Chain A
């Protein structure tokens, strides 16, 4: 009988540092929730964290909690709870899993960090650059907790980022300040704000450098590592602690590159991943690819927390630029060019698009892009159907057969 090959994936030592960062982060939030101070803001993952931090809020990100509902495979049981109260199984399964968990009074934080429940918010702040679903999601919680919800309404399909975009978005950021000051019960200190923006930028630059190390052959990093290593870039941007963590990670990656030490024993194929991860299958997918000597080295998703435009000298406008230059709100022309550059930079042999059923905003294979890019670059592509959190939308066997067949196709080309 043919045996499944034993798979060796070399874990990064600094993953522990990043893990500890997340433990400390959630414990601090839990303590604040219990003590009633500092105040807590809930923020979307690409929301205006810098303003919130400058006003002294601790920030909780429901999307990260939803990803944990995914990785812990709790989500699929909880999504139907939200479906039953009117949130369709076709919409964001971050939203439905999270609201389902809240309704049931459960959280992965209980098992992971011995934290009873998510920290109660004093205010909710969204940016629709992720999607419109975050607005509905946060508004639901606003009613539940009886706290204010405020938000930024982004542009979509942005080609060139123009002054008109920047004026509008930076004005929206400025208009958030007064209501947030009311909740924070303090004024925004511009020097402090600038300092936070500088820290956020430094964190972003370091994360960018870490991801870029995957261009080395063999790559010291996998996409699946990146999905957990990005935690501090999402929840900790604007803090020194996140910067310190990424300096350690970068050091280890540089060491690996210097000694040609790849994340896989034998990296034969280099794959780009577009779209969300399947959180409940992160480990399974990691092993599946490694077993085929295929390293998924880079992704659009992990790069979504790079904000190179942030400039402490012009915090509002640069935030407007950083959060509008983001891949997810850009035009298809821009997105195609972006992915084309990534395929080239990371020297990829193939690209896999994850068609995440409940996240069309993070899915880029629905309007002919795979065909256009394949024709243009000659780099083969594969679309796999699935979802970020709802495992009912997944066929593991189909995924496995598709991926194996794709790697066989790449093998034949070598």
Chain B
């Protein structure tokens, strides 16, 4: 139950990802979760009575009605979800709608530390959403535009409002839109990479990455090596939550 989008992930007993659904979290978190659960069940060809266990994560984790074990934070769930796909020492970069996280795991999957972005929206999905509004470009077109850039504009500021001013200045100077959009992408990546040192293997997740895969290419170029991305980067938190629910159930022996 993210600040921006809610995701439901269904796993079968063999931990295979069999159903999913995503939508804006909206204003009624419980209803959104319920609606998405039904959608994901449809996709998996399953019924509600088939659910053996469930847990919730994210900002609205305490608002989900159908969970069977204590809610977990998205930090733990992203970690668990990523380690499921990449069972090695990794640094996870999650770019969400409202916040960013850098989470470090050792080879056993144990979290060694984590950081969330500080007070401002720099480097988050909210920043790109604000900029798409300012530029009057649909959010879904941003990735394609950034890829067309030949002469990226560099934006200097931490702050979303100051960055918007810089964007306006560049528009006034006649800079090309793809160059400005790539500059925005670059700004997102810089803000995230500034948060912490990264270990050798880096995994990127989150809805922003799922919809803007060019961000991963840009990040890989900056850090100088490939970055791992799970099959469904927007769902790793939800998948991690499901894995926790399964673990909890087996611990309880039910």
Using a CB–CB distance below 8 Å, which chain A residues touch chain B?
Answer: 1-2, 4, 374, 380-381, 383, 385, 393, 395, 397-398, 401-402, 404-405, 408-409, 412-413
Contacts and interface: CB of A to CB of B under 8 A. Distances in A.
10 tightest CB-CB pairs across the interface, nearest first? A405-B75, A405-B73, A408-B76, A404-B73, A1-B65, A409-B111, A385-B118, A2-B71, A401-B73, A2-B62
A405 B76 contact: yes
12 contacts: A1-B30, A1-B62, A2-B56, A2-B61, A2-B67, A374-B113, A381-B113, A383-B115, A385-B119, A405-B75, A405-B76, A408-B76
A402 B64 CA distance: 20
Nearest to B68: A2
Nearest to B55: A2
B74 A401 contact: yes
Contacts of A408: 72-73, 75-76
A398 B116 contact: yes
A2 B75 CA distance: 19
B248 interface: no
B24 to A, nearest CB: 18
A401 B71 contact: no
A380 B74 CA distance: 19
Interface residues on B, range: 20 to 34
B64 A397 contact: no
A409 B106 CA distance: 12
A402 B116 contact: yes
Nearest to A413: B110
A409 B74 CA distance: 12
B81 to A, nearest CB: 14
B99 interface: yes
Contacts of A4: 62
Nearest to A410: B111
Contacts of B113: 374, 380-381, 409
A409 B110 CA distance: 8
Contacts of B61: 2
Given A395-B119, A398-B99, A405 B114 contact: yes
A183 B166 CA distance: 57
Interface in B105-131: 110-116, 118-119
Contacts of B116: 398, 401-402
Contacts of B63: 1
B221 interface: no
A402 B117 CA distance: 10
Given A1-B63, A2-B61, A405-B76, 7 more contacts: A2-B71, A398-B119, A404-B73, A409-B76, A412-B110, A412-B111, A413-B110
Contacts of B65: 1
B59 interface: yes
B143 to A, nearest CB: 28
A302 B112 CA distance: 29
A380 B113 CA distance: 7
Nearest to B74: A401
B74 to A, nearest CB: 7
B70 interface: yes
A275 to B, nearest CB: 15
Contacts of A404: 73
B104 to A, nearest CB: 11
A225 B72 CA distance: 28
Nearest to A408: B76
Nearest to A407: B73
Contacts of B76: 405, 408-409, 412
A409 B114 contact: yes
A397 B56 contact: no
A60 to B, nearest CB: 34
Contacts of A398: 99, 116, 119
Contacts of B70: 2
A373 to B, nearest CB: 12
A409 B112 CA distance: 8
B207 to A, nearest CB: 17
B84 to A, nearest CB: 15
A166 B185 CA distance: 56
A390 B168 CA distance: 32
Nearest to A370: B113
Contacts of B73: 401, 404-405, 408
B195 to A, nearest CB: 11
B50 to A, nearest CB: 21
Interface string B180-207: 0000000000000000000000000000
Most B-side CB within 10 Å, residue of A397, A405, A408: A405
Contacts of A405: 73-76, 114
A386 to B, nearest CB: 9
